[in-house]
């Protein structure tokens, strides 16, 4: 049987490539970098399916070039890189990878929370620089975590997993979303509050919302001003959920105590001033970056792609 013609826009863990290679003639971007726009437009032509990433901007122009392609299988849960309406118009299926990255992403939000609250990065730099001259009663005091109030914005899979992991720390959990979630409350014991109450009362605010017009700059100057001077903001969702310029100002002026960011408004660029601050910890969008999770994401995407090519409905199809 003839194999399907599939393009992979960037190297992903090998098990997914092996699976695809059983059924497809694969061309893979050999370089570990995002394709240029011109390359993407050229590479999608004449294919049956595309395995793609959140760094590929998929819009009407790409779908026009991709005539005949049945599916773009996105190796990510977030799909703000895709114009879903345009894909549907072109009769192209789009799939994502929900569920498999939930725990890893929630773990990373905790890693950032601990790192900022207990000044781990500052402590590491200080010690390596030979500045540690002995134990000090006021040396690098941080924020206590146990017993504090956790504010979770976004009560979906990742927000729920994040809050569930707070159990060992005897925390009070407040959450906010567009509506109450019984599932969130059952899993975490959290209390639903409006956004303002959450921002005012939480010691740690963690963001777990998808990027949409309604969540763009969900946190900006007014929200940062509502937060406690001792509070910490964690973002592992999407960069534009936070107005990064406003955050830099709030961190410079000590409106809040610190922030942990895995995502940025204009990735990979950082807002001016951000990298100079000691009260922020910055990571390069690695919340799902464990071998296990990235392998499972790529396998899920590969299975979606193969299902579409077989004429089946891919399990994680976003526009059935
Ligand atoms: C996603 O899947 O949307 C993450 O941002 C990358 O793992």
pLDDT digits (tens, 9 = 90+) for 158-210: 999 999 999 999 999 999 999 999 999 999 999 999 999 999 999 999 999 99
Helix, strand, coil percentages for the chain (3-state, nearest 5) = 40, 15, 45
What is residue 2's predicted lDDT score, i.e. its pLDDT?
A: 87
Instruction: Identify whether 176 is a catalytic site residue.
Output: no
**Rounded mean pLDDT, 116-124:** 98
CA of 116 to the centre of ligand 1 (A): 22
CATH class in words for 102-282: alpha beta
Handedness of CA 132, 134, 140, 143 (dihedral sign): positive
Q: Measured between alpha carbons, how far is residue 218 from residues 74, 163, 224, 285 in Å? A: 25, 20, 10, 19
Quick one: what percent of the chain has pLDDT higher than 90?
A: 99
Asked if residues 87 and 69 have their Cβ atoms less than 8 Å apart, the reply is no
Distance separating the N- and C-terminal Cα atoms of the chain: 27
Across the chain, mean pLDDT equals 98
Q: How confident is the model at residue 18 (pLDDT cuts 50, 70, 90)?
A: very high
Question: Among 210, 192, 198, 194, which Cα is nearest to 156's?
Answer: 210
Q: Measured between alpha carbons, how far is residue 245 from residues 217, 261, 272, 306 in Å? A: 10, 13, 8, 43
Reported ipTM exceeds the 0.95 cut: yes
Q: Do domains 4-99+291-309 and 102-282 have the same CATH topology?
A: yes
| Alpha helices, H only, 165-257 | 182-188, 195-201, 221-226, 244-252
pLDDT digits (tens, 9 = 90+) for 35-68: 999 999 999 999 999 999 999 999 999 999 999 9
Please pick, among 10, 176, 238, 294, the residue that the annotation labels catalytic: 238
CA of 79 to the centre of ligand 1 (A): 9
Asked if residues 79 and 96 have their Cβ atoms less than 8 Å apart, the reply is yes
Kindly report whether the global pTM for this prediction surpasses the value 0.80: yes
pLDDT digits (tens, 9 = 90+) for 74-110: 999 999 999 999 999 999 999 999 999 999 999 999 9
| Residue nearest atom 2 of ligand 1, based on CA coordinates | 76
- In the predicted structure, residue 283 carries a pLDDT above the cut 90: yes
Asked if residues 223 and 250 have their Cβ atoms less than 8 Å apart, the reply is no
- 283/127 Cα distance (integer angstroms): 21
How far is Cα of residue 40 from the mean position of the Cα atoms in its chain? 23
Ligand 1 neighbourhood includes 300 CB (under 6 angstroms): no
Burial of 219-245, coded b for 16+ CB within 10 Å and e otherwise, reads: bbeebbebbbeebbbbbbbbbbbbbbb
Ranges of each domain in the chain: 4-99+291-309, 102-282
CA of 74 to the centre of ligand 1 (A): 10
Please pick, among 47, 157, 285, 294, the residue that the annotation labels catalytic: 285
Quick one: what percent of the chain has pLDDT higher than 70?
A: 100
**Rounded mean pLDDT, 228-252:** 98
CATH architecture of 4-99+291-309: 3-Layer(aba) Sandwich (3.40)
Question: Among 45, 34, 37, which Cα is nearest to 9's?
Answer: 34
| Residue nearest atom 3 of ligand 1, based on CA coordinates | 78
């Amino acid at each position: 049987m003839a194999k399907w013609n599939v393009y992979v826009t960037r190297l992903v863990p090998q098990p997914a490539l092996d699976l695809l290679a059983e059924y497809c003639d694969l061309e893979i971007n050999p370089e570990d970098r995002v394709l240029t726009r011109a390359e993407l437009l050229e590479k999608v032509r004449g294919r049956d399916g595309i395995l793609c990433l959140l760094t590929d901007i998929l819009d009407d122009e790409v779908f026009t070039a991709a005539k005949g392609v049945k599916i773009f299988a996105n190796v990510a849960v977030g799909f703000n890189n895709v114009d879903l309406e345009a894909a549907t118009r072109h009769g192209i299926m789009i799939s994502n990878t929900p569920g498999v990255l939930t725990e890893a992403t929630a773990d990373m939000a905790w890693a950032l929370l601990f790192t900022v609250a207990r000044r781990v990065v500052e402590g590491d730099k200080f010690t390596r620089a030979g500045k540690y001259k002995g134990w000090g009663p006021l040396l690098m005091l941080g924020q206590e975590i146990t017993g504090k109030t956790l504010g979770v914005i976004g009560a979906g899979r990742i927000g729920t997993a994040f809050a569930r992991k707070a159990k060992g720390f005897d925390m009070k959990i407040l959450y906010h979303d567009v509506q109450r979630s019984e599932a969130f409350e059952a899993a975490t014991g959290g209390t639903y509050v409006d956004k303002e109450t959450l921002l005012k009362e939480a010691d740690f605010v963690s963001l777990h919302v998808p990027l949409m017009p309604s969540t763009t700059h969900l946190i900006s100057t007014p929200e940062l001003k509502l937060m406690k001077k001792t509070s910490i903001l964690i973002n592992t969702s999407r960069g534009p959920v936070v107005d990064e310029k406003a955050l830099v100002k709030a961190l410079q002026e000590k409106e809040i105590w610190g922030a942990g960011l895995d995502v940025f408004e204009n990735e990979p660029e950082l807002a001016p001033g951000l990298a100079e601050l000691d009260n922020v910890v910055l990571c390069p969008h690695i919340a799902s970056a464990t071998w296990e999770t990235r392998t499972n994401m790529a396998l899920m995407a590969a299975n979606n792609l193969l299902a579409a090519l077989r004429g089946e409905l891919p399990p994680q199809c976003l526009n059935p």
